[in-house]
Amino acid sequence: MNMKREQGFSTLLITVVISLIMALYVFSLLSVELFNSKKTQNIIISQELKSMSASGLQCAVDIILRSGQKPTSINYTTCVDSVITAIQIPATSTYKVTSTATADDAESTMSQLFTSSSMNGVQAAFSSSGTISFEGSHEIDPFEGDRVGTGYNCIAIRSGGKVLVNGTLVTRSPLDQYGHAKIGQDGKTITCNSSHLSGSVKSSADFKSDIIENIKDMDLFKENFAVDRDSWADAKSLFDVFITGSKTKVEIPSGKNGTKTVEILLVNNCSKEINKVVEHNRSELKKSETDKSYEPKLKKYIWITGSCDMTGVDYSRAEKSEASVTVVVKDGLITTNGNMYFHGNVYLFDYAMTNDQLLAAWEKSSLKSIAESFVSLVNAPFFFNGSFETRGAFNLDSPNRKCSVRGSFKPGYSKGKVDYEESRFGKTVMLEGSWHDF
């Protein structure tokens, strides 16, 4: 009886062990199937996320290339397959656009690098495509240019014509708006190489490589706005403020004791119109200082059509870079009389102004009696008379004419106030081979 009971127990034990082994085998098969199923599901999800990430990035690329704008200034909400982010890589002209698609804990990220096709920008404190005449005593803080050796190849003046000096013109290593020496990225003082530091000059015989004359095929418009001079309308469309002068009929001399009527555009109270923009920007910057989350709505670019007397522009000696403006004056006379501070880029765009229109503009200027003692009015679209301190740049795009500055003029280049590397001008292009799949 005991033997039968032992045999029955042994049989039961064997059956249980076999059943357990079979159950473990079945569980292992199920586990493998579950793993394979999960793996397949993950592969499918991964492929779907990659597809969505790629689709989102392609959407962003299409928008950027179609608009030509900087990637950081674009709204990508129409790219619904993924989240698009865009950053500018510090201290470069390169932008990184990233597309991220997510599902639960899974994620797929792809990116593409872009750069702007307009990286030249302003290349001197004072540039003129024609001849420029300096009457009086002037000091120029130059564009620092490239670093070569321990110093910089500074550029103070560039001209497509002559640089005439009647008095004293001093170029020096660059100072900031407070009169302090500028500091480079290495923490050291920026000093001009001796080859690019004319110092005190009285004639072209004293010029070194920081004052350049007779530059051929000079296209200031392309340097500043990344399109050819004849394509100026493309750049104008990107400006913030447009001011057009009133049509004004003027009688000018013609022949012996005769006159003729010429129609010009004349901006009345031009400096007040510019001051409105300056005050708007100050107000916006003040709001952003009070509320750190507030994004100031700045108006940086002003396009003026017609003659403009800038006397009375209301800047202080020192201003934030964000408060600066670019003022383009197309086909008009620019004048100033008295003391003035300015921050930004003053750009004379003498594109289609006739000699008669320029003479007519002078007939309406209060500076005519002073200017005609120094310049030929028919050939002078720019005349500053007085004491001026500016931070930014002057660009006088007036080929075959002569612009003149009389008095005490202290123009100083300031990268932050004419920084076209971060501007809205110029097309944005992809960097080949930079599409990256994380």
Write the DSSP string, 201-234: ESSGGG--TTEE---TT--HHHHHHSS-GGGHHH
| Helix/strand/coil for 259 | strand
Residue partners of 276: CB distance under 8 A and separation at least 6: none
Q: Tokens 């050796």 — which residue?
A: 149
Q: How confident is the model at residue 7 (pLDDT cuts 50, 70, 90)?
A: low
Statement to judge: residues 337 and 412 lie in one domain: yes
Statement to judge: residues 101 and 76 lie in one domain: yes
Beta carbons within 10 angstroms of residue 31's beta carbon: 10
- What is the pTM assigned to this prediction? 0.76
Q: What is the pLDDT of residues 109-156, one digit of tens each?
A: 999 998 876 545 788 999 999 999 999 999 999 999 889 999 999 999
Statement to judge: residues 433 and 417 lie in one domain: no
Nearest to 313 by CA among 374, 249, 270: 270
Torsions phi, psi of 4, nearest 5?
A: -65, -40
The radius of gyration of the chain from alpha carbons, rounded to an integer in Å, stands at 34
Range of the domain at 57: 2-118+427-437
Statement to judge: residues 142 and 181 lie in one domain: yes
Task: State yes or no: pLDDT of 421 exceeds 80.
Answer: no
H or E element that contains 40: helix 2-67
Statement to judge: residues 60 and 159 lie in one domain: no
Statement to judge: residues 210 and 325 lie in one domain: yes
Alpha-carbon gap, residue 108 to 246, rounded angstroms: 58
Nearest to 335 by CA among 254, 410, 396: 396
Statement to judge: residues 23 and 136 lie in one domain: no
User: DSSP assignment of 310-374, as one string?
Assistant: -TT-B--SS--GGG-EEEEEESS-EEEEEEEEEEEEEEEE-SS--HHHHHHHHHT-TTHHHHTTT
Task: State yes or no: pLDDT of 191 exceeds 70.
Answer: yes
For the chain, percent of residues with pLDDT exceeding 70:
89
Torsions phi, psi of 241, nearest 5?
A: -125, 135
Residues 337, 236, 286: CA angle, nearest 5 degrees: 65
| Helix/strand/coil for 169 | strand
Q: Tokens 């100031």 — which residue?
A: 296
Q: What is the pLDDT of residues 53-83, one digit of tens each?
A: 899 999 999 998 887 677 887 899 999 889 9
Statement to judge: residues 357 and 395 lie in one domain: yes
Alpha-carbon gap, residue 61 to 425, rounded angstroms: 18
Q: How confident is the model at residue 3 (pLDDT cuts 50, 70, 90)?
A: low
Statement to judge: residues 83 and 135 lie in one domain: no
Domain count, the chain: 2
Statement to judge: residues 130 and 113 lie in one domain: no
Statement to judge: residues 25 and 76 lie in one domain: yes
Nearest to 163 by CA among 208, 199, 212: 212
Q: What is the pLDDT of residues 403-414, one digit of tens each?
A: 999 999 999 998
Beta carbons within 10 angstroms of residue 408's beta carbon: 15
Alpha-carbon gap, residue 282 to 303, rounded angstroms: 19
Statement to judge: residues 95 and 6 lie in one domain: yes
- Helices H / strands E in the chain, number of each: 6, 22
- HEC profile of 373-416: CCCCHHHCCEEEEEEEEEEEEEEEECCCCEEEEEEEEEEEECHH
Sign of CA dihedral 34, 39, 44, 46: positive
Nearest to 394 by CA among 167, 118, 165, 156: 156
Residues 149, 139, 196: CA angle, nearest 5 degrees: 20
Alpha-carbon gap, residue 63 to 57, rounded angstroms: 10
Lowest mean pLDDT among 61-70, 140-149, 232-241, 317-326: 61-70
Alpha-carbon gap, residue 196 to 217, rounded angstroms: 23
Residue spans of alpha helices (H) in 136-216: none
